[in-house]
Amino acid sequence: MKEFLKNDTISYNLMSFTGYKTLILFSLMTEGPKSYFDIKEYFENQPYVREKFSMDTMRVYMNSFKRVGCHIKRIREDGVSKYWITDNPFKLKLTQEQKKSVIKIYKTLVKNLAAEEIIELDRLLLKLTNYIADEEFVEEYHKASVLKKENLEIVDQLLDCCRAHKQITVAYNSPRSGIKDMEMITKRLVYNSNKLYVRASGLEYNQDTDFLVSRIVEIKEVKAPDENFESSKEVTVIYKLMTDGHVPDLIQNERLLEAGKDYAVISITGNNMFYINQRLLEHSSACTVLEPEQFKKAFVEQLKEMREEYDND
């Protein structure tokens, strides 16, 4: 331990190597069905193991799991045997108060974390549900989970693409026109209004748009962004929001500039004027646009036109 604290490195003499491999295998087999080849590949690429994992070794570990009370199920998929631990004696027991607290804390956290952090939190808690002996609580958590309706493979692909701002072509299930191919340059994942989006520059309209992740059927192509593509310029709008002493809920492209007793001054940045306008209209009469002057004038004209439409009716 002293060596680890000093050098921040792991070495075999700092841990029980057999114990470490046992924990890795236990974790893999509680996630879901795994073939011998899945496990072998994982151990060969695991940074602190990097060694061959034979079928005989796997049998020894599985027999040990059985002796301590684990239930191991075997299935065959496409002619390949897969194994997973369906039950184990190490499950946690939670009181009613603890169960309510976990769900409450989770719902609070997802309101205040970036989308990528929410996904990591969600995956951690989903993994922990494998060790909780309470089906009712696990079902309740799955209902609250951000990822409950998402294709996790697509979520992983989008995370990788966003980190490198890749240009992708997706099959997108549009509510108006059905499934169609859309090309975009990815920026980041966004969690808003209890839904997961990918924010990207759509090449068709050259502006940032939030695409609902659950509507992405397939990522068909991934490549480096077109060097000749120039995204439309972003605009920063500053507005004053009457808050009645409440802390305002900000979205990811907003920043709190000033907070008073009953107001907040907020900036919102983007190149999609429709989304900026929609955000300001959400606040109704509690919102006053301060700058830039050109946007302010255009926004006021838009409000006048809306008022005239209602007057004409």
Using the 3D structure, point to which of 38, 66, 87 is the last residue of a domain: 87
Domain holding 65: CATH number?
1.10.10.10
Question: In this structure, are 134 and 184 located in the same domain?
Answer: no
**DSSP conformational letter for 145:** -
**DSSP conformational letter for 286:** G
- What is the per-residue pLDDT across 253-302, written as a single tens digit (0 to 9) for each? 888 999 888 999 999 988 778 788 888 998 988 999 999 998 898 888 88
Is-contact 144 106, C-beta < 8 A? yes
Domain holding 184: CATH number?
2.30.30
Q: What is the mean pLDDT of the chain?
A: 84
Question: In this structure, are 219 and 241 located in the same domain?
Answer: no
Separation of alpha carbons 197 and 285, rounded Å = 28
More confident: 250 or 68: 68
Residue 137 lies in a domain: yes
**pLDDT for the residue numbered 228:** 64
- 141 has a pLDDT exceeding 60: yes
Separation of alpha carbons 281 and 192, rounded Å = 16
- 155 has a pLDDT exceeding 90: yes
Question: In this structure, are 61 and 106 located in the same domain?
Answer: no
Which range, 100-104, 213-217, 222-226, has the best average confidence (pLDDT)?
A: 213-217
Residue 101 lies in a domain: yes
**pLDDT for the residue numbered 5:** 43
Residue 274 lies in a domain: yes
- What is the per-residue pLDDT across 234-248, written as a single tens digit (0 to 9) for each? 789 999 999 987 878
Residue 228 lies in a domain: no
- For residue 144, the SS3 value is helix
User: What's the structural domain count of the chain?
Assistant: 4
Residue 81 lies in a domain: yes
- 92 has a pLDDT exceeding 80: no
Residue 251 lies in a domain: yes
Residue 229 lies in a domain: no
Is-contact 111 249, C-beta < 8 A? yes
Residue length of the chain: 313
Residue 230 lies in a domain: no
Helical H segments across 68-174, by residue range:
96-110, 115-128, 135-144, 152-164
Question: In this structure, are 140 and 172 located in the same domain?
Answer: no
Percent of the chain at pLDDT > 70 equals 91
Residue type, 235: V
Is-contact 185 200, C-beta < 8 A? yes
**DSSP conformational letter for 9:** -
Separation of alpha carbons 164 and 152, rounded Å = 19
* Local confidence band at 4 (pLDDT 50, 70, 90 cut-offs): very low
Q: Which residues contact 187 (CB under 8 A, 6 or more apart)?
A: 162, 165, 198, 199, 200, 201, 208
Using the 3D structure, point to which of 223, 248, 274 is the last residue of a domain: 223
Question: In this structure, are 83 and 102 located in the same domain?
Answer: no
Question: In this structure, are 130 and 57 located in the same domain?
Answer: no
Structural domain including 53 reads: 2-87
Using the 3D structure, point to which of 223, 255, 270 is the last residue of a domain: 223
- What is the per-residue pLDDT across 8-53, written as a single tens digit (0 to 9) for each? 555 545 556 778 888 889 988 988 899 999 999 988 888 777 788 8
More confident: 207 or 105: 105
